[in-house]
Amino acid sequence: MKAIVCEEFGPLDDLVYKDVPDLEPGDGQVLIRTEAAGVNYPDGLLVQGLYQSKPDRPFTPGSEVAGEVVKIGAGVTRFKPGDRVVTYCSGGYAELAVGSEQTCFALPDGMDAADACAMIIAWGTSHHALKQRANLQPGETLVIFGAAGATGTAAIQIGKVMGATVIAVCSSEEKRKIALEQGADHAIGYDNLKDEVKGLTGGKGADVVYDSVGGDAFAAASRFMAPGGRLLVIGFASGEIPKLPVNLTLVKEYAVVGVFWGNWTRREPAAYLANMDELFGWYTDGKIKPLIEGRYPLAEAADVLKRVLGRGAVGKLALVP
């Protein structure tokens, strides 16, 4: 089978598209013929050796795969060959992937494979952040940084389903237009964030901030939080891990809340399954629809990752064998 291989940590251009031995499912696993592999920001960090975990080399990056089950391992009862599934796994940038039965989800009839991949990390993270970590309530104001990206567009749509007023923050007019098309009530830039958010909320400030950017954006958010607000720490796409002015959390009485979706899925698998059931239900009911910017040949993985890491991507990107 063909796969993308990282032979040593280094530049994205060092990734190799090559033949590797076909995989076989182990006990409790399914073998999937890849229809689409999701591309995520951490994938690029992992290849460069910049992520918090560092796999043994060589390895194939990629953690989301949707496609058809072609073979099952011993003990698998929920799936059979011919079923279409999506899974959170390792080695996703390949023509074949292996997923654990426990982390596979059956696709609703007719669901696009790229849509399914988007549901795992991007939508799963945003849903967990807003539901379990923020406890977002109807009528609250949600501010989303990086709102035109994969997790950002997911947060917009989920926030609207949950009844929030959504203020999207994007770096360009084109991205702000996309955020509004995704359902945001307002779309603003990063300049004068404090004043703009205060103005749009009648001086109250934000009840919830979804921050996947860090840096100066986080510094601004720490000054426009509403009393009782929740400032969600999702990631640091700006490349700068900010410092928290703790005195402001005291004076303004807001909480800073960490969000680590991967650890949560392992710690609370039942809640994770319930969240995914809810997301797939919303999809089936037409309440949500992932924004897929494009589907690219598997061999172009390095260029696609550069686009994602350069914060040039809009919505979700997928690789297609």
Q: What is the pLDDT of residues 261-293, one digit of tens each?
A: 999 999 999 999 999 999 999 999 999 999 999
Residue 168 · residue 289 · CB < 8 Å: no
Looking at domain 126-262, its CATH architecture is 3-Layer(aba) Sandwich (3.40)
pTM recorded for the entire structure: 0.92
CA distance 314 to 150: 7
* pLDDT band for position 207 (cuts 50, 70, 90): very high
- In the predicted model, is pLDDT for residue 297 greater than 80? yes
Helix/strand/coil for 208? strand
Please list, residue by residue across 199-212, b when 16 or more beta carbons sit within 10 angstroms of its beta carbon and e when fewer do.
Answer: ebbeeebbbbbbbb
Architecture in CATH of 2-107+291-320 = Alpha-Beta Complex (3.90)
pLDDT at res. 51: 86
Cα–Cα distance for residue pair 128/168, rounded to 1 Å: 19
pLDDT recorded at residue 224: 97
Decide: 60 and 89 in contact? Cβ < 8 Å.
Answer: no
Model pLDDT for residues 182-206, shown as the tens digit of each residue = 999 999 999 999 999 999 999 999 9
Token digits for 141?
A: 């104001």
Domain boundaries of the chain, sorted by first residue:
2-107+291-320, 126-262
CB neighbours (10 Å) of residue 84? 20
